[in-house]
Amino acid sequence: MSSRSLAERSPRVRDERAALGTRADIQALRAVAVSLVLIYHLWPNRLTGGFTGVDVFFVISGFLITSHLIGRPPRSGRDLAGFWSRRIRRLLPASLLVLAVTLVASRLVAPETQWAATAKQAGAAALYVVNWLLASDAVDYLAAENSPTPVQHFWSLSVEEQFYIGWPLLILVLVALASRVRRSPTLVVAVGLGAVVAASFAYSVHETVTEPARAYFVTPTRVWELGVGGLLAVLIGKNGFGRGRSVEAVAWPPAARAVLAWTGLAAIVWTAFTYTGATPFPGWHAAVPVLGAAAVIAANAPEAPGSPAGLMAMRPVQWLGDVSYSVYLWHWPLIVLVPYATGSPLGLLDKLTILVASLVLAAWTKRYVEDRFRSPEWGRPLRKSYVLGIAGMAVVVAMAAAQLVEVDRGEDAARRALAAAIADDDPCFGASALAPGVSCPRTTEGPVVPAPAQALKDKSDAYEEVSGGKDCWASAPRFPVTVCEFGDPDAETSVALTGNSHAGQWLPALQEIARARGWRITTYLASQCAAAETEQQFDTADKSGRCSGWVKRVTRRIVTGGYDLVVYTNRISVPSVGNDIAGSQDDYRRGYEKVLSSVRASGVPITVIRDTPAPGTIIPDCLAENASDLTRCSAPRDRWEPAEPVVDAVHDLDDRGIVLADLNDRICRSERCDGAVGGVVVYFDGSHLTATYARTLAPVLERPLMKALARG
């Protein structure tokens, strides 16, 4: 059957689209974009690059918005206010509804550990700045490990809203400039937009290389994608500025336009199947789906033999394009919250149910929310849209703030409970429950201390948010040498603690010992970068090189620092260059040996702490979800306990001045590890000890420290 005959099966759809000024090919492109995102989120291993659907949406938005703006270019503040009023009515009612419903649903079914993060992101999403919050979290190693919230997909909507604020201002300036210099507005606007696109693209490529986690979310790395759509609207439009804008297609023969449309679709689908989470993105890789989407729009697929126009005009495709915005809004909260409601990971039936529910909710939202508020009466008088938009945003922000107040009150109660538990001096508290010869019951149900929501924040004083301003971490991308001191500044015994975040987790235990013995502790800590002379594979070569530089500089500082003892431990967070984690063990063993040998050459004794078990799942979340059966937050010890090449390094060096401390028998039982031991939450995330549990390990850690000091 030809494309033309396929198209003719739905003539009423085409007639309706023409009457509404809506292009069937763009609606179809929306359908493709939301399908990619939906399938990717439900079946990420089947469509590894489905996240590129968002980039397709960006191009569409840039094209349509610019088409409106150049058809009626803004020339005054009132013109801008009218444009933004239409955007408010188009986007805010549905998005604010979903945010409000999600906040309520999250409070009802999600564990208490998720309430604060969801509330913060929902408030930021209501103000359309959540992409910047997520960018900040993305470059925070520990925050990046947090469970996803049901509103984080609003990052792309935030990018678009910020674009909608700045883009009209840019076009207003360019149109005014064209009038002043008496040049064609098409030329001036095209040059101006082209310059912005080029600058944003260059920045995107640079930022993706230097800080890819942040680059994914921030607006400057994404503006060029919307700008490509905007530039296309200028280049292929008909008529003049201010005389209406009839945007059609490239002036090619129908057969060539059909080929162009198929090529664009193929490019989009190719990225969906070949890109993965390891693809540097956005950067230049985003150009493939972006240009693919631009090609489809530029082609405006004609009804000709071999054209995709017939498929695009089919009713189901057009309907999905119509509801794509609401589908995007609803699908992610369902994906995140359904497992909490059912108490189990998503199965096939759950995913199919979410798929259907997303479509049903989207249809309802489109009809009763989107379409209703788009009607002209909601924009008259002009201030009406703004009053309603601000009121809606205020309601969501207030709901988020109320949730944060509840979390704060819960944390106050949790702190009092923790203080009482510590004061109780229970012989089975924390790590003491696993001491040899004692008989303490296994912690199988709550309550536990710190309470799970508080446990997320129960970190050492090395963290800025705990110490109230002192950030003790050398972080990517620069990895500067960062030094912090704790304990008695005039102490006779000086101890250096060095390594990555799994060294930092021992600071609370060291502080307990230091208080009792009058020591001074100096920290040399890095985020992710292990203190090993090993080429470590970060997401950019520059970070790898700077990590190596940090190791060498810190080793020199420790060797010349006059310390009485060095406490050394690391987690293998990234593989060695060219390997996976399993294949990196020998590289790390040799790297550990080099650092330990350098320190020992100065005569300083070393206590090497074997790395601690790592669950890999957020333990406070698990405990909050399973308060009546905490055994669901446990696993065989050999599954959590990592391979530890530093043990082999210590044995190979065979130096009496290096004492190996293996405290894992006080974290796990002989065969099994639990998320809570002795009534205490063991981890504040998926691998790091809570400060409370670390303190209960102080008596056990003290013995190998004193042994090493005696040998020094």
**Mean per-residue pLDDT, 323-351:** 96
Q: By CB neighbour count within 10 A (0-12 exposed, 13-18 middle, 19+ buried), where does 580 fall? A: exposed
Which of 7-21, 37-51, 417-431, 662-676 has the lowest average pLDDT?
Answer: 7-21
Q: Quote the strand ranges of 84-241, DSSP E.
A: 237-238
Rounded-to-integer distance, Cα 446 and Cα 439, Å: 19
The residue that leads in pLDDT, 363 or 74, is 363
Write out pLDDT tens, residues 312-331: 999 999 999 999 999 999 99
Give the SS3 label for residue 51: helix
Write out pLDDT tens, residues 14-30: 433 443 457 999 999 99
Which of 74-83, 115-124, 347-356, 690-699 has the lowest average pLDDT?
Answer: 74-83
Q: Name beta bridge partners: 235.
A: none
Is residue 246 a contact partner of residue 72, using CB atoms and an 8 Å limit? no
Rounded-to-integer distance, Cα 530 and Cα 591, Å: 9
Q: How confident is the model at residue 402 (pLDDT cuts 50, 70, 90)?
A: very high
Please, which residues have CB within 8 angstroms of residue 178's CB and are 6 or more apart in sequence?
184, 185, 187, 188, 189
| pLDDT greater than 70 at residue 513 | yes
Residue 87's nearest CA partner among 144, 9, 167, 153 is 167
> What is the chain's mean pLDDT, rounded?
92
Indicate the DSSP class of residue 67: H
Q: What separation in angstroms does the CA of 32 have from each of 236, 293, 323, 368?
A: 23, 10, 12, 24
Residue 612's nearest CA partner among 552, 677, 708 is 677
Write out pLDDT tens, residues 191-231: 999 999 999 999 999 999 988 889 999 999 999 999 999 99
| Pairs from 138-141 (Cβ < 8 Å, separation ≥ 24) | 138/213, 138/214, 138/216, 138/217, 139/211, 139/213, 139/214, 139/475, 139/476, 141/475, 141/501, 141/527, 141/528, 141/573
What is 583-607 written as a DSSP string? GGHHHHHHHHHHHHHHHHTTT--EE
Please, which residues have CB within 8 angstroms of residue 630's CB and are 6 or more apart in sequence?
443, 444, 445, 446, 448, 623, 674, 675, 676
The pLDDT of residue 147 is 82
* Burial annotation 319-352 (CB, 10 A radius, 16+ → b, else e): bbbbbbbbbbbbbbbbbbbbbbeeeeebeeebbe
**Domains of the chain, each with CATH number or no CATH:** 3-72+155-372 (no CATH), 448-711 (3.40.50.1110)
First-last CA distance in the chain: 86
CB count within 10 Å of CB 541 equals 12
Residue 418's nearest CA partner among 436, 430, 403 is 430
CA angle at 458 for the pair 454 and 461, rounded to the nearest 5°: 145
Strands 606-609, 519-526: pairing is unpaired
Q: Is the peptide bond before 381 cis (omega within 30 degrees of 0)?
A: yes
The residue that leads in pLDDT, 490 or 57, is 57
Please, which residues have CB within 8 angstroms of residue 288's CB and are 6 or more apart in sequence?
52, 267, 270, 271
Rounded-to-integer distance, Cα 441 and Cα 247, Å: 74
Rounded-to-integer distance, Cα 55 and Cα 222, Å: 9
Residue 57's nearest CA partner among 93, 92, 91, 18 is 91
Place of tokens 């059609």: 248
185: left (phi over 0), alpha (psi -120 to 50) or beta: alpha
Rounded-to-integer distance, Cα 61 and Cα 313, Å: 20
- Count of residues for the chain? 712
The residue that leads in pLDDT, 82 or 711, is 82
Interaxial angle between packed helices 315-322 and 24-42, expressed in degrees from 0 to 180 and rounded to the nearest 10:
70
Give the SS3 label for residue 502: helix
Q: How confident is the model at residue 239 (pLDDT cuts 50, 70, 90)?
A: low
What pTM was computed for the model? 0.89
Q: How confident is the model at residue 380 (pLDDT cuts 50, 70, 90)?
A: confident
Write out pLDDT tens, residues 474-483: 998 889 999 9
Give the SS3 label for residue 617: coil
The pLDDT of residue 238 is 66
| pLDDT greater than 50 at residue 7 | no
**Mean per-residue pLDDT, 380-390:** 90
Write out pLDDT tens, residues 285-308: 999 999 999 999 999 999 888 999
Give the SS3 label for residue 154: helix
